[in-house]
Amino acid sequence: MAQKKGTCVLSGGSSDGLAKSIAGKIGARLITTEVRVFADGESKMRLGGRTAGYERAVIVQSLHPPVDTNLFRALCLISRISEDTRDVTAVIPYVGYARQDAEFLPGEIISAKVLGRMLRSAGAARIVVVDMHSERGLALLGTRSTTNVSAIPALARHFDGIRLERPIAVSPDKGGARRAERFALEMGCDLLVLEKSRDRRTGAVSIKTKKVGAVGGRDAIIIDDMISTGGSVVKAAEFLKKQGCGRIFAACTHALLADGAKSKIRRAGVSKIVCANTMPAGRGVASVDVSDEIARVLKRRRW
C-alpha cells in the first residue's frame, strides 16, 4: 500500500500569505490555486499540485470582501479535497456573515447558521477561526470541533512596544467586553466598557455612556473584533476625546475598513490602527501575525 503523505495546505487566493506561513510552521506541503474569473463573474479554480495521497488537508481561506466569491471558492476547495481525504480542516481566519447570528428583526435569516451548514456539507470536519464575533455565532458553525483562535495576545504584544501614558483598554460595546478584558489583562492596564447602541435598520451607531471617571490625559486603545464601516470606533474615539483622553489607538482582529473607514477613523483623532493578518491590511495600517497561533492549534492533534 502506498505511504500516506502527511498534510497539505490548500490556499484559495484570499489568504495566500497566511496559508504559506501556516504550511511552513506545520511542515505541510502548500498547494496554491490558480483562479480565472469569467466575464459573468464565475470563478474557475485549478489546483497547483496533486492532492492525492495526503492523510490530512487544511484549507486556508478568509471570507472578507468579495465575501460570497471567497466563500464559494472555500467551498469548492473543501468539497474537492474531501474526495481525497476525510480529515479536512477549514481555516477561516475571518468569518464573513458571523454578525448575522440571530434573528434580530422578524424574518431575518441567520446567515451564520447557513454558513456552518455549507462548510460542513462541503466536507469540513473541523473549523478554525480567529476571534469569531460571538459565542453564539461560533456555536452556529456547528462542528463538534470548531476552535476559536485569539489575536488578542499578539495585538497586546504590539502595544507593549509603544510608550503609552497610563493606558486604558476600551471596548466600544458590552458585546466586546470579554475581548477587551483579555487585552487589558495581557497589557496589565485598566478596562473601560462603553455602552453602544446600533439602529438595526440604518446601522447608525451611538454611544450611550454619558461620563466615565479618571481618563484625563490617559492613552486609550479601543479594541474590537472587527472594524467595518468604522462607525463604532469613530463614535468611541469622539467620546474618549470629549472625556479628555490623550492619544487614541484602534486595535482589531479583522480590519475590513469598508466605505472609507480609514479616513473617517483618522479624522476622529485615532493616531494608529493595528489589526491582525486575517485579511490584507491595506496601507497605513499596522498588522500583527497570527500564523503561530493557528499553527499551534493545527499541530495539536486532539481537538
Residue numbers annotated as active site: 196
Query: What would you measure as the largest C-alpha separation in the chain, in angstroms?
Result: 71
**All 3 cell numbers of residue 185?**
489583562
User: What residue type is 41 in one-letter code?
Assistant: G
Q: For residues 233 and 270, is the Cβ–Cβ distance under 8 A?
A: yes
Stretch that binds ligand R5P, among 13-21, 157-165, 214-222, 228-236 (CB under 6 A): 228-236
Grid cell 498588522 in the structure block, residue? 287
Q: Rounded to the nearest whole angstrom, what is the least distance from the CB of residue 66 to ligand R5P in the complex?
A: 18
Question: Shortest approach of ligand R5P to residue 209 CB, angstroms?
Answer: 15
Asked whether position 276 contacts ligand R5P by CB under 6 A, the answer is: no
Nearer to ligand R5P, 145 or 206 (CB): 206
Query: How would you label 190-227 residue by residue, b for 16+ Cβ within 10 Å and e otherwise?
Result: ebbbbebeeeeeeeebebeeeebeebeebbbbbbbbbb
Please identify which residue in 101, 186, 219, 225 interacts with ligand R5P, judged by CB under 6 A. Answer: 225
Q: What does the per-residue mask of binding to ligand R5P show for 151-190, with x meaning CB under 6 A?
A: ---------------------xx-xx--------------
| Helix 16-26, helix 291-299: angle, nearest 10 | 50
The answer to the question of residue 13 lying near ligand R5P (CB under 6 A) is: no
269 lies in the binding site for ligand R5P (CB under 6 A): no
- The site map against ligand R5P for 122-141 (x = CB under 6 A) is -----------x--------
The residue among 112 and 226 lying less far from ligand R5P, judged by its C-beta, is 226
Question: Using the rule CB under 6 A, is 96 a contact of ligand R5P?
Answer: no
Residues near ligand R5P, by CB under 6 A: 99, 133, 172-173, 175-176, 205, 224-232
